[in-house]
Structure 1
Amino acid sequence: RGSGFGPGRGCWPGPAPRLSLCPLGRAQNVKQLYALVCETQRYSAVLDAVIASAGLLRAEKKLRPHLAKVLVYELLLGRGFRGGAGRWKPLLNRHQARLKAELARLKVHRGVSRNEDLLEVGCRPGLASQVPRFVRVNTLKTCSDNVIDYFKRQGFSYQGRASSLEDLRALKGKCFLLDPLLSELLVFPAQTDLHDHPLYLAGHLILQDKASCLPALLLDPPPGSHVIDACAAPGNKTSHLAALLKNQGKIFAFDLDAKRLASMATLLARTGVSCCQLAEEDFLAVSPSDQRYRQVQYILLDPSCSGSGMVTRQLEEPGAGAPSKERLQALAGFQQRALCHALTFPSLQRLVYSTCSLCQEENEDVVRDALQQSAGTFRLAPVLPSWPHRGLSTFPGAEHCLRASPETTLTGGFFIAVLERAEVPSSVSQAETSAPEHIPSAAPKRKKRRCKAAAAPSAPPRT
């Protein structure tokens, strides 16, 4: 989550690019293969109807159904084989006329003229495919001014700071903007692919959805703070926390998945993070009384969730139904335990709870129950009053929570709640609590400056 893996990374709503299938499993371009499979899945019901009507699987006993579906998509809805497909091309050519006839008959039967119109409404490209490409500038290595200059030298047209969502919707071609809220967030058209860009490969850029940038921004730990990232992998939010800390202080990052943690370590190294301690450990097993965490005043909790708000899920699994009640109950139970556990850390002053879920059970309900169990020790902090999408009115104060969606904020679906301590714990010294805590309500204002750690004028930066 939060990796930026979306429309620009091989999954787009239009026809998939031509792919040489020789055989399918040895495709040279993995991104094109991914796009082909996504598009085949989107047209799955249509392809099933055409294949069944044409009797393809009855005639070709050795052809597996899933492979047949991919091949028929490429033949009828993609770019054709054009010299590819190896031993499968003669087989498909034998049935080509019949398959095309059945597709045409299906259109006549449904009264449509375009392939796209054969799709169910929930499978057609919607707002999810229009979410822009958000790019966070990694201030541990460079700054926005220098990144903007670098893109301008590459032929991109910088349009300045956006003033509204309409500015973001209007982005096309090689134009880009500065986000109206986050001063280190650049915005490109949805189909912009920057995964092979030298600034990304060097760790100067993080491909991260805007909604995914809000948790660290709203936690707002000052440099020198001790912070816990409770469910940290894959690490985009952790790297954002480190940038806010300017690598001064400590981040204790926990995750149970060893592979994801290894990938996270690679990401943190590439992005220049040096203040983070990774631990392959269940956050629920971390003792709040451990002396290592006695100075932790900030916790970011972004636990496992249904992912129902993820743009990539909407594109890859169009029409996918809501998670089952049983799965939601299991996830919500874990999320509530994790949140209640986090609130027991003795020096905790501020916590951000976030999910990429749209489900009330994982969002407002979890926060409400945790606040009830905290018995008045913590309260919801009012943040970003101008944010247009608020929490569901399921309990008093829920309007302080934030929601995000492609429709209302041009981002992935997200939920964020900021909890702050309503009383000063005795374990925190007077010196630590004498200064009022800063609650960000807009993008942090910083003086414009030219960075030393900048992208080179004529060559990509090196790690």
Structure 2
Amino acid sequence: MAQLYQTAAGILERAQRQQGAVKSLVYNSKYTNVKQLYALVCETLRYSGVLQEIISSANLLKEERKLKMSLAKVLVYDFLFGKGLKCGGGWKVTLQKHRARLQAELARLKIKRKVSRNEDLLTPVEGATEVLLPRYVRVNTLKTSTEDVIDYFKRQNYTYLGRASSVQELGRLSGKQFLTDCHLRELLVFPPRTDFHQDFLYKSGHIILQDKASSLPAFLLDPPSGCHVIDACAAPGNKTSHLAAILNNVGKIFAFDLDTKRLATMSTLLLRAGVTCHELANQDFLQVEPSDPRYSNVRHILLDPSCSGSGIVDRLNQLTDDMKSSCEERLQSLAAFQKRMLGHVLSFPKVQRVVYSTCSLHQQENEDVVQDALERNAAFRLMNVLPSWTQRGLDTFCGARCCLRASPAETLTNGFFVAVFERKREGGECSETFSSSCNSFDAEDTGVEREPVLAAVSTSCKKKRKKKKSKLE
């Protein structure tokens, strides 16, 4: 049980630092009893504000200086609201010393708030209703095919309804129904709360549980097989594995991340997904020299930098928000970092296409960063991507509608932002014939999706692609 409390506290800390979604952190923890751990983390988060007030009023951290707030919350939750710390070793002994004081502070808080039940202590913010999104499942084409996965779920008594014709259709799923997404053919869509964490396909890496909006960056970068690609802020690795699938594991992905633990988790994920074309680097990407010969063949770069995470629709993650995500000072700091990162990416001499994405709703981290990059880098322009995608960038500068936004209400995804940069040819033309300029957006946006492109197989990015219909038009 002591390990249970320590693991739960670690997950709380990582969630607070926005190092992953709560459920993913729990399932990646390798703790034996996942359900028990998940329940403890969830309930501790629900009572987080109440627990902090009790712990502070009881002066618990002042009395026990080796005890951190995250661990204290987990222990006090189980002591006062859970199963009563039936185990826990030395921590149980520690909490028993403060038993009377903690119980007194709980009783005092109930009197103060004029309630009699523990659950009545939860405020509307702490007990906020979870926003339900479809369950998106990306087929890992490195190990299987979409057709085979569809057949597998049919054998599990799921009803396949074919390819969705609209986003609205994705929101009408129920029971054991599922669809192929209307934009990404390798994405299957199931009703909300469908859980595949114990499914064979998930455990074996044949499917990846990844939100649709998070699948867009690699899909839109669309590097040809054999290409050299940089994933500048790669952990936890879902986008990297998606890039590898698009490359058919042929070529090279240089994946960077500064967080050692996140990189270790990513290594495990990529191994399970069957990715072999990657090279991981525990390094600050800003310190990478663009003129380094190792990256001389890099033509495509994906940049998904640290952001406020304000678009993540997860009630548990919302409960970890210390209200700093909307703090102007923090947003300015994040935006400054994002501008430096994007400027550094665009300085790579051979790069032809760059995807910039965030899971933020804030203009400061999205349109403002893109506008700054365009003003500082005249060699690049925005590409007009997915014209049938209804939610576009905020109209804050000329061409901003070339960018994509995503939201629960309109696209049935987490909140997200994506911009695709392309290097101009000399004379201002686009560098590839199949791309379209953002200046022609209004004229060409028919709302009709063209057939997706299959990556052209080649041994070098220097070879031009054959003309073909493009999903980027």
State the alpha-carbon separation in 1 of the partners of residues 241 and 263 from structure 2.
13
State the alpha-carbon separation in 2 of the partners of residues 215 and 159 from structure 1.
26
Question: How big is each residue's C-alpha offset from its partner over 1:337-370, in whole Å with a ceiling of 9 and x where there is no partner?
Answer: 1111111122222110011122222211111111
Structure 1 residue 291 corresponds to structure 2 residue 271: no
The answer for unaligned runs of 5 or more in structure 1 is 12-26, 427-431, 448-463
State the alpha-carbon separation in 2 of the partners of residues 443 and 262 from structure 1.
39
Query: What pairs up with 1:360-371 in 2 under 5 angstroms?
Result: 360-371=363-374
- Residue in structure 1 matched with residue 33 of structure 2 by the alignment: 29
Instruction: Work out the number of aligned pairs and report it.
Output: 417
Structure 1 residue 206 corresponds to structure 2 residue 225: no
1:269/1:66 Cα in 2 relative to 1: closer, same or farther (>3 Å)? closer
Question: How big is each residue's C-alpha offset from its partner over 1:278-305, in whole Å with a ceiling of 9 and x where there is no partner?
Answer: 2233222222222232222211111122
State the alpha-carbon separation in 2 of the partners of residues 357 and 367 from structure 1.
14
Moved more, 310-319 or 330-339: 310-319
What is the TM-score when the length of structure 1 is the normalising length?
0.74
State the alpha-carbon separation in 2 of the partners of residues 381 and 366 from structure 1.
16
1:361/1:445 Cα in 2 relative to 1: closer, same or farther (>3 Å)? closer
Identity among equivalent positions (%) equals: 55
Q: Does the CA-based 8 Å contact 1:182-1:444 persist in structure 2?
A: no
1:94/1:331 Cα in 2 relative to 1: closer, same or farther (>3 Å)? closer
Q: Could you tell me which amino acid in structure 2 is paired with residue 139 of structure 1?
A: T
Structure 1 residue 222 corresponds to structure 2 residue 224: yes
Q: Could you tell me which amino acid in structure 2 is paired with residue 131 of structure 1?
A: L
Structure 1 residue 317 corresponds to structure 2 residue 320: yes
Moved more, 168-177 or 398-407: 168-177
Query: What pairs up with 1:387-402 in 2 under 5 angstroms?
Result: 387-402=389-404
Q: Does the CA-based 8 Å contact 2:424-2:431 persist in structure 1?
A: no
What is the TM-score when the length of structure 2 is the normalising length?
0.73
Q: Does the CA-based 8 Å contact 1:8-1:190 persist in structure 2?
A: no
Q: Could you tell me which amino acid in structure 1 is paired with residue 343 of structure 2?
A: C
1:106/1:306 Cα in 2 relative to 1: closer, same or farther (>3 Å)? same
Q: Could you tell me which amino acid in structure 2 is paired with residue 260 of structure 1?
A: R
The answer for unaligned runs of 5 or more in structure 2 is 1-14, 438-444, 455-473
State the alpha-carbon separation in 1 of the partners of residues 32 and 122 from structure 2.
29
State the alpha-carbon separation in 1 of the partners of residues 308 and 176 from structure 2.
34
State the alpha-carbon separation in 2 of the partners of residues 156 and 326 from structure 1.
48
1:422/1:28 Cα in 2 relative to 1: closer, same or farther (>3 Å)? closer
Larger RCO: 1 or 2 (CA < 8 Å, sep 6+): 1
- Residue in structure 2 matched with residue 249 of structure 1 by the alignment: 251
- Deviation, structure 1 residue 317: 2.4
Q: Could you tell me which amino acid in structure 2 is paired with residue 345 of structure 1?
A: F
- Secondary structure of the corresponding residue to residue 396 of structure 2: coil
1:74/1:260 Cα in 2 relative to 1: closer, same or farther (>3 Å)? closer
- The counterpart of 1:327, out of the listed 326, 330, 338, is 330
- Secondary structure of the corresponding residue to residue 253 of structure 1: strand
- Residue in structure 2 matched with residue 302 of structure 1 by the alignment: 304
Task: Kindly report the root-mean-square deviation, in angstroms, between the aligned alpha carbons of the 2 structures.
Answer: 4.2
Question: How big is each residue's C-alpha offset from its partner over 1:311-337, in whole Å with a ceiling of 9 and x where there is no partner?
Answer: 346344268453433322222222111
Q: Does the CA-based 8 Å contact 1:36-1:70 persist in structure 2?
A: yes
1:156/1:28 Cα in 2 relative to 1: closer, same or farther (>3 Å)? same
Structure 1 residue 42 corresponds to structure 2 residue 46: yes
1:74/1:433 Cα in 2 relative to 1: closer, same or farther (>3 Å)? closer
- Residue in structure 2 matched with residue 16 of structure 1 by the alignment: none
Query: What pairs up with 1:14-413 in 2 under 5 angstroms?
Result: 29-45=33-49, 109=114, 119-126=122-129, 128=131, 130-312=132-314, 314-317=317-320, 320-375=323-378, 377-413=379-415
- Residue in structure 1 matched with residue 12 of structure 2 by the alignment: none
